[in-house]
Amino acid sequence: AQTVTQSQPEMSVQEAETVTLSCTYDTSESNYYLFWYKQPPSRQMILVIRQEAYKQQNATENRFSVNFQKAAKSFSLKISDSQLGDTAMYFCAFESGGSNYKLTFGKGTLLTVNP
């Protein structure tokens, strides 16, 4: 079974600065997908970024980018130019590449952006 570990329960950053959230995972599969989801107080899970394991290039979405280290099974999220609206819980998630299937989530990191 896959496991996802987020070792930082809480983090804070000043507005406009850069912050990196850590995620490691454990799997024996070679083909899989990794995700970062954001959950603000409204409860809705919002997809931030997605990475296919077979792609060596790190995914980017505007101010969000990942550092995907497949051999180390590490998948960190970098948020540049942090904004107050980035304050939320951030969850790292793993999905097997075998089928359209369930997500395995980490326990989350609460990010607070301070003015």
Q: Which residues bind other proteins (CB under 8 A)?
A: 4, 33, 35, 37, 42-47, 50, 91, 95, 97, 99-108
Residue whose CB is less far from other proteins, 19 or 106: 106
CB of residue 75 to other proteins, shortest distance in Å: 15
**Cα–Cα distance for residue pair 49/59, rounded to 1 Å:** 7
CB of residue 5 to other proteins, shortest distance in Å: 10
Residue whose CB is less far from other proteins, 82 or 104: 104
φ, ψ of residue 47 to 5 degrees: the values are: -70, 125
* The two structure tokens encoding residue 65: 């980018």
106, HSE (Cβ side, Cα atoms, 13 Å): 30
CB crowding 40-69: b at 16 or more within 10 Å, else e? eeeeeeeebbebebeeeeebeeeebbbebe
CB of residue 42 to other proteins, shortest distance in Å: 7
Residue whose CB is less far from other proteins, 98 or 115: 98
CA–CA–CA angle 39, 106, 75 (5° rounding):
95
CB of residue 33 to other proteins, shortest distance in Å: 5
Residue whose CB is less far from other proteins, 61 or 81: 61
